[in-house]
Structure 1
Amino acid sequence: MEEQQARAPEDMRRVAIFLRRFESGMKVEIGTINRRKVDYFKAATAIEALLSPAYAKQKGLPKIANATEALAVLSTLNAFGFFQHVRRIPHPRLLFPAVLRITPNQQNLVAADGYYAWFFELRWAKYVRPAVVFALLFAGSLLRYEIVRMGVYLCIFMLGVVELFVGIVVVRYIFYIMTGFAFGPGSGIWIFPNLFANTGSVESFSPLWDREQP
Structure 2
Amino acid sequence: MPPPPGPPMPGQQPTPEQIRMMQQQMAAEAAKRGLTVPQYIEQLKAQAMQQHQAQQQMQAQQQQQGGHPQQQQMPINPGPPNPAAVAVANFLRSQELKPRTCLLDEKRKDMFRVKRAIRALQSPAYAKARSKNPLLPEVTDRASAENTFKLLPMSLLALRVSKIDPSVGHEGHGHAKPKRIKGLWTVRIEQHQDANDDDHYIWLYEGAQIKQKLYAAGALVLVIAVVMFPLWPLVMRQGVWYLSMGMLGLIGLFFVMAIFRLILFVVTLFTAPPGLWLYPNLFEDVGFFDSFRPVWAWHQDKKAKKKSKKTKSPAEASIAKEGNSTSTEKPTSAAPAASIPTTPAPAATGVSPAAGTPIQRKLHARVEEAEEE
Q: What TM-score range do you get, normalising by the shorter chain?
A: 0.5 to 0.7
Residue deviations 1:3-28 (CA, integer Å, cap 9, x gap): x77x333122101111112xx22121
Deviation at 1:40, TM superposition (A): 0.9
Match of 2:249 in 1: none
Measure the CA separation in 2 of the matches of 1:41 and 1:120.
Answer: 13
Q: 1:152 aligns to what?
A: 289
Which residue of the other structure, out of 77, 85, 101, is the alignment partner of 1:30? Answer: 101
CA distance in 1, matches of 2:287, 2:207: 38
Aligned equivalents of 2:208, 2:281: Cα separation in 1: 38
- Give the C-alpha shift of residue 110 in structure 1: 2.0
CA separation in 2, counterparts of 1:54 and 1:152? 44
Matched, 1:41 2:176: no
More strand by share: 1
Partner of 2:128: 57
Contact persistence 1:81–1:119 (CA under 8 A): yes
Residues 126 and 103 of structure 1: CA distance in aligned 2, closer, same or farther (over 3 Å): farther
The count of residues paired between Structure 1 and Structure 2 equals 133
Question: Identity over the aligned pairs, expressed in percent?
Answer: 25
| Partner SS for 1:123 | coil
Pairs within 5 Å for 1:25-174: 25-58=96-129, 59=132, 60=134, 61-90=136-165, 95-105=182-192, 108-124=193-209, 127=212, 146-147=281-282, 149=286, 151-153=288-290
Q: Which has the higher contact order (CA 8 A, sep 6+)?
A: 1
Contact 1:29–1:39 (CA<8 Å) still a contact in 2?
yes
SS of the residue corresponding to residue 81 of structure 1 reads coil
Select the structure of larger CA radius of gyration. Answer: 2
1:28, 1:41 within 8 Å by CA — same for their partners in 2? yes
**5+ long unaligned stretches in structure 1:** 131-144, 156-214
TM-score normalised by the chain length of structure 1: 0.53
1:146/1:119 CA distance change after superposition, 3 Å: same
Contact residue 78 and residue 110 of structure 1 kept, 8 A: no
1:112 Cα deviation from its structure 2 partner = 2.1
Name the CA distance, whole Å, in 1 between partners of 2:93 and 2:156.
Answer: 14
Distance 1:153 1:46, change over 3 A: same
Deviation at 1:36? 0.3
Q: Is the 8 A contact 2:160 2:194 kept in 1?
A: no
Where in structure 2 are there 5+ consecutive unaligned residues? 1-77, 168-179, 216-279, 293-373
**1: CA distance between counterparts of 2:196 and 2:96?**
19
Distance 1:63 1:150 in 2: 51
d(CA) in 2 for partners of 1:53, 1:42: 20
Say whether the 8 Å CA contact 1:78–1:109 is kept in structure 2: no
Is the 8 Å Cα contact of residues 81 and 154 (structure 2) preserved in structure 1? Answer: no
Give the distance between the partners of 2:287 and 2:107, measured in 1 at CA: 36
Moved more, 95-104 or 84-93: 84-93
SS in structure 2 opposite 1:100? strand
